[in-house]
Structure 1
Amino acid sequence: MNKEELDAIRDRCEKATPGPWKWIINGNTVQSHAITTDTGECGIQEKICASISPKTRNAEFIAHARTDIPLLLAGIDKLQQGNDYAKELLDKQILRNEGLSKRVSTMKGEIDRLTAERDAALKAMKELAKENGSCLGCVNFETDITARMYASKVIRNAKDILIVGNGEE
C-alpha cells in the first residue's frame, strides 16, 4: 500500500460521521437492523446506515470500521516511523562499514608493503652473511624469532651507518 492509498483511506475516515458507531436491532426484519452513532444531544441517535441483513456479519464489521480503521492507520504510522528509523540506522551503518572497509584495505596494503620490505631485508642479510662467511647464513630468519630480532637490529644499525656515512644526521 502506497502513501496515496493510505492518504485516501485517511481522508475518507476523517470525512465520515464521528464514532463510535454501534449496531442496533429493533426487531427481526432487515429494516430493523441499523448502524447508528450518538449525536450527544439527549440520547438522540443518528443513523449511519440501515436495512442491513441480520444473516451476515456486515453490520458488525461496518459498526467497528469507524474505530478499527483509525487504529489501523495509527498502527501503520508507528510502523512507518520505526521503519524510517531503522533505515536511518542502516544507512549510518553502511557508511561506517564503508569507512572500515577502506581502512582495512589500506592496512592490508601496508602489511603487504612491510612484509615485502622485511623479506627483502632478510634476503639481503642472508646474502651479506654468505659473502662475509658469517654463520648468519645458517640461521632461518623466517622462523627463528631471535634471528628476526637480530636482523631488525642489524637493519637499524645498517641504516644508521648509511645515514651517518652519507653525512646525514
Structure 2
Amino acid sequence: MTEEQLQVIKMRAKYATDGPWKVVKSEEFGMQIGTAWEHGQLKAGVPIVTTEHGIDGVTVYINKDNAEFIANAREDVPALLQQVTSLQDEYERMKQSRNHWHSVAVGRRMATTELKDHLDRTELAEVKARMEIEALGGYFNALIRQRDRQLEGERKGSQRVQAENEQLREALTIILEDEAPNCDGYETLIHATARKALAGESND
C-alpha cells in the first residue's frame, strides 16, 4: 500500500461520523445504523444509515462522507489486511535479523559500532511497525464489523422491498380492472397511469 492510498483511507475515516457505530433494529423501519454514543441534544445516537418505507419502496438516507466510508470499505479492508500482513512479515524478518546479530555479538564478544547502529535501526523500525500494526488492526476490525452489519441490513431490506413491490403490483392490477376503458375506448388518467406503471416495471 502506498502512502497516498493510506492517506486517502485516513481521510475517509476522518470525515465519516465518529464511532463507534452500531446496528439499530426497528420493527417499523427495519435495520438501520447509528452511533453507539448519544448526542447531547438528541438524547440518542446520531443516525448514520436510516430508511423510510413508502409505496415506491424503501428510501435510504445517508450523508456523502459516511456513504464513501461504507462503500469503499470493501476495497479498503482487504488493502489494509494486506498491509498488516506485509508489516507483520517485515516485523518477523527484522526480529530474526536482530536475533542473529545478538547471537553474533554474544558468541564473538564484540559490539562494533556497525552492529550497534544496525540494532538501533532495527529496534526503531520494529517499534514503528508494531505501533502501525496495532493502529491498523483496530481500524480494519471496525471496518469488517461495519461491512457485515451493512450487508445484513441490505439483505433484509431487499426482502421487504420485494414484498412491497408485489403488493403494489396487485393494487395496480385491481385499478386496471376497476378503471377499464368504456365501450368508446376512453381511458381514464388513473387507468393510464396504472398501465404505464406496470409496463415500466416489466420493461425494467
TM-score calculated relative to the size of structure 2: 0.34
Higher strand share: 2
The structure with the largest alpha-carbon Rg is 1
Higher relative contact order (CA 8 A, sep 6+): 2
